[in-house]
């Protein structure tokens, strides 16, 4: 089993920021030059980059397309982008930019028929962000906790034809307290499609614990704040997972 380490760039007004548990008021700006950050992660060995348009997530439409285009032009690694993607035109715009994967979140949950149409049309270019709080689905930029268990939604995604999800425990996101291993394991046992884990990564030991779960469908781990705060060394994490 090889788990890919995926550094994250969260964009607000063209700047690299991090939020704690998705709260706007917790914003910390780490760089005003996202292209430089992306180039740094690529130089350290990253083969895939996770970008979230936070302005888009909160407003419901993409807001940082220019910054994302600049990053795409600068790096050769694969890129996945989410945040405010609500229409087929939004998806096409990113794919036309040569973005490799587009992440669907809120609308994917709210409109399963629409989601199936996008999956049928764009196939494995679509990733669904499954965000959870207390085991329940969270939506609308994590501002609403739904009444559906995350495991039930995960099963629906499989029947729709989704091939990959990003599973985020939002209570852990940006907290540097370690991932929620029990909920991650539960999701991995519930479905057999690819799962990218997100939320709570603090240090190399957290990567080791995810590897130790021995869930072959956990194919990636997203990390953001730990890299910016230097509690996790990206090169070390990539070296560790490349041995698996």
Active-site pick, 10, 53, 55, 90: 10
34 C-beta neighbours (distance < 10 Å), count:
23
CA atoms within 13 A on the CB side of 178: 10
In the residue annotation, 131 being an active-site residue is answered as yes
Q: CA 165, CA 163: separation in Å to the nearest integer?
A: 7
Active-site pick, 53, 90, 131, 169: 131
57: left (phi over 0), alpha (psi -120 to 50) or beta: alpha
Taking each helix axis as running N to C, give the angle between helix 181-190 and helix 204-212, from 0 to 180 degrees, rounded to the nearest 10. Answer: 40
Residue 211's DSSP bridge partners are: none
In the residue annotation, 10 being an active-site residue is answered as yes
144 C-beta neighbours (distance < 10 Å), count:
12
> Given the structure tokens 């999701």, which residue do they identify?
187
Residues 200 and 178 sit within 8 Å (Cβ to Cβ) = yes
> Given the structure tokens 């690529």, which residue do they identify?
42
Which of the residues are catalytic? 10, 131
């Amino acid at each position: 089993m090889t788990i890919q380490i995926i550094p994250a760039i969260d964009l607000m007004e063209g700047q690299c920021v991090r939020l704690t548990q998705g709260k706007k008021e917790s914003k910390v700006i780490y760089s005003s030059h996202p292209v430089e950050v992306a180039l740094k992660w690529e130089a350290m060995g990253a083969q895939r980059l996770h970008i979230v348009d936070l302005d888009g997530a909160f407003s419901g439409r993409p807001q940082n397309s220019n910054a994302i285009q600049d990053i795409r032009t600068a790096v050769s690694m694969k890129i996945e982008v989410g945040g405010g993607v609500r229409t087929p035109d939004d998806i096409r715009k990113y794919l036309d930019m040569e973005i490799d994967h587009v992440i669907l979140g809120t609308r994917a949950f709210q409109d399963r028929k629409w989601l199936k149409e996008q999956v049928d049309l764009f196939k494995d270019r679509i990733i669904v962000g499954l965000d959870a709080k207390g085991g329940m689905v969270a939506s609308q930029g994590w501002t609403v906790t739904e009444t559906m268990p995350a495991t039930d939604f995960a099963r629906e995604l499989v029947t729709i034809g989704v091939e990959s999800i990003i599973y985020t425990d939002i209570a852990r996101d940006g907290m540097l307290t370690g991932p929620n291993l029990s909920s991650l394991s539960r999701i991995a046992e519930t479905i057999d499609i690819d799962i990218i884990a997100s939320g709570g990564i603090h240090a190399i030991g957290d990567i080791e614990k995810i590897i130790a779960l021995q869930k072959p469908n956990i194919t990636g781990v997203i990390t953001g704040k730990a890299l910016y705060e230097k509690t996790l060394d990206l090169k070390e994490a990539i070296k560790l997972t490349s041995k698996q």
